[in-house]
């Protein structure tokens, strides 16, 4: 792990590269909503240059801190950056620095304390991790089952939030239907640490990473799957760096795993007469490179009319729910989500799917708020619905 001095030096070097061209500005969901230059990535980098390269500490004001935390970490700025700056990494480093300066948003400090106490992002005790199983009549979910081939890492949101438990219920139902020998970690599953990384608190993640890795390894599974795009990104991109080495098992997003089951005919999708579009989650798409498998699932369902949104794949717009934005400015997060659900409605779709519990939750709220004729479902929920119907 880098020292704060090393991190600040890295920020200084990166900020020097920026040519302030503003390509980032036009794709930034935050700038689109706020509209002032101060909210554009190029301005944030210009301020970082002042603070870290030119050592003008007085520029590190509360407004500077607020703007740095008004970011979904969607990574679209990196995709379009004319100078090739890895901006997402830069934003994370800047947040680490904010925390070191004691300028972290109070809600993020609170969230970190919460995770430390309960090992999840909710206020529920971690023993309640499998409460969502109670509503399943025909599927038995066994925690830490010996001899399992697959472990399902549920994620905090679809473990604890009633709006999202349908995702975990659908995933286990699909695994059960395909006769997969799987297990879950139950109360031994701790938060993956993604919200802490996004808050610039990567130090606290090490303990969580070590715990989770040890528990999954002790199960002896070949594959770990998760339905959460952020958990997937953390397991595949952050844990190997934090823990310094390979995990010893394969990690797949549920959409990848289920697409594999369909290809090998272990799972036959059902019929669904609906017009469906797909929202690429930033942490699964742009930040992890997984675009095709969720689409493969949707198109495998008989009767589905699949339509794409103009902003898709590498250039997909963010749902507004990433980067802890809702904790910093809920209205801003919601405004971004509204923009996205309107784009979905404009395609003629009646169902908007995604492959991320956070995206689904954020987009669902926006669709309800706007009273749009649009149902928002996780792609696994859609697949299970096709089988139920």
Residues binding another protein (CB under 8 A): 16-23, 25-27, 35-38, 40, 43, 46, 53-54, 61, 63, 80-84, 310
Residue 170 and residue 179 in contact, taking contact as beta carbons nearer than 8 Å? no
Q: Residue 94 and residue 341: Cα distance in Å, rounded?
A: 30
Instruction: Tell me if 299 sits within 8 A of 305, measured CB to CB.
Output: no
Tell me the C-alpha distance between 176 and 255, whole Å. 15
Find out whether 274 and 303 touch, Cβ atoms under 8 Å. yes
Nearer to another protein, 14 or 202 (CB): 14
By beta-carbon proximity to another protein, the closer residue of 37 and 273 is 37
Closest CA to 269 of 349, 174, 354, 351: 174
Beta-carbon contacts of residue 199 (< 8 Å; ≥ 6 apart): 95, 99, 104, 108, 111, 112, 324
**Nearer to another protein by C-beta: 18 or 327?**
18
- Residue 27 Cβ vs another protein, minimum distance, rounded to whole Å: 7
376: left (phi over 0), alpha (psi -120 to 50) or beta: beta
Q: Which 3-state string (H, E, C) describes 81-98?
A: CCCCCCHHHHHHHHHHHH
- Among 45, 35, 49, 59, CA closest to 89: 45
> Within the chain, what is the greatest distance between any pair of CA atoms?
63
CB of 309 or CB of 337, closer to another protein? 309
Nearest approach, Cβ of 46 to another protein (angstroms)?
7
* Nearest distance, CB of residue 303 and another protein, angstroms: 26
What is the nearest approach in angstroms of another protein to the Cβ of residue 275?
18
Give the shortest CB-24-to-another protein separation in angstroms. 8
Rounded to a whole number of angstroms, the minimum distance from the CB of residue 50 to another protein is 10
Nearer to another protein, 148 or 333 (CB): 333
What single-letter DSSP state applies at residue 182? E
Q: Work out how close the CB of 10 gets to another protein at its nearest, in angstroms, rounded to a whole number.
A: 14
Closest approach, Cβ 22 to another protein, in A, equals 4
- CA proximity to 116, closest of 186, 208, 188: 208
Cβ closer to another protein: 90 or 180?
90
Using the minimum distance from each CB to another protein, give the nearer residue, 56 or 263: 56
Q: Which of 88, 42, 74, 86 is nearest to 314 (CA)?
A: 74
> Nearest to residue 216, comparing CAs of 131, 145, 290?
145
Whose Cβ is closer to another protein: residue 18's or residue 174's?
Answer: 18
> Which helix or strand (DSSP H or E) is residue 153 part of?
strand 150-153
In angstroms, give the least distance from the CB of 304 to another protein. Answer: 22
Q: Which residue is associated with the tokens 């030119």?
A: 54
When the beta carbons of 53 and 387 are compared against another protein, the nearer one is 53
Min dist CB 345 to another protein, Å, is 16
Radius of gyration of the chain (CA): 21
Closest to another protein by CB, 135 or 308:
308
Least Cβ distance, residue 260 to another protein (angstroms): 29
Q: Who's near 140: CB < 8 A, 6+ residues apart?
A: 176
Q: How many helices (H) and strands (E) does the chain have?
A: 20, 8
Query: Which is nearer to another protein, 40 or 174 (by Cβ)?
Result: 40
Q: 3-class SS at 75? A: coil
């Amino acid at each position: 792990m880098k020292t704060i001095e090393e991190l600040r030096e890295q920020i200084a070097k990166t900020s020097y590269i920026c040519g302030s061209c503003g390509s980032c500005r036009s794709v930034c969901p935050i700038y689109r909503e706020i509209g002032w230059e101060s909210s554009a990535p190029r301005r944030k980098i210009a301020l970082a240059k002042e603070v870290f390269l030119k050592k003008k500490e007085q520029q590190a004001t509360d407004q500077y801190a607020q703007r740095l935390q008004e970011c979904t970490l969607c990574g679209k700025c990196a995709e379009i950056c004319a100078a090739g700056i890895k901006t997402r990494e830069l934003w994370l480093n800047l947040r680490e620095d904010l925390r070191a300066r004691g300028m972290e948003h109070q809600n993020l400090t609170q969230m970190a304390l919460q995770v430390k106490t309960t090992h999840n992002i909710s206020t529920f005790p971690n023993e309640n991790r499998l409460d969502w199983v109670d509503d399943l009549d025909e599927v038995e979910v066994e925690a830490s089952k010996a001899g399992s081939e697959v472990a399902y890492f549920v994620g905090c949101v679809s473990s604890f939030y009633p709006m999202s438990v349908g995702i975990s219920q659908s995933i286990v139902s699909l695994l059960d239907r395909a006769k997969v020998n799987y297990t879950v970690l139950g109360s031994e599953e701790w938060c993956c640490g993604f919200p802490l990384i996004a808050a610039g608190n990567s130090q606290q993640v090490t303990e969580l990473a070590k715990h989770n890795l040890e528990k999954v390894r002790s199960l002896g599974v070949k594959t770990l799957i998760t339905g959460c795009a952020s958990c997937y990104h953390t397991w595949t991109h952050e844990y190997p760096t934090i823990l310094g080495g390979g995990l010893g098992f394969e990690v797949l997003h549920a959409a990848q795993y289920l697409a594999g089951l369909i290809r090998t005919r272990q799972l036959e999708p059902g019929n669904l007469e609906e017009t469906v579009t797909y929202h690429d989650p930033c942490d699964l798409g742009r930040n992890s490179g997984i675009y095709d498998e969720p689409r493969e699932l949707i198109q495998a369902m008989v009767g589905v009319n699949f339509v794409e949104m103009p902003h898709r794949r590498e250039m997909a717009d963010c749902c507004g729910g990433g980067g802890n934005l809702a904790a910093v400015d809920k209205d801003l997060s919601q405004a971004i989500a509204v923009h996205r659900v309107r784009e979905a409605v404009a395609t003629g779709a009646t169902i908007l799917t995604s492959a991320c519990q956070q995206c689904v939750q954020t987009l669902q709220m926006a669709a309800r708020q706007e009273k749009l004729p649009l149902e928002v479902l996780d792609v696994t929920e859609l697949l299970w619905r096709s089988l139920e119907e």
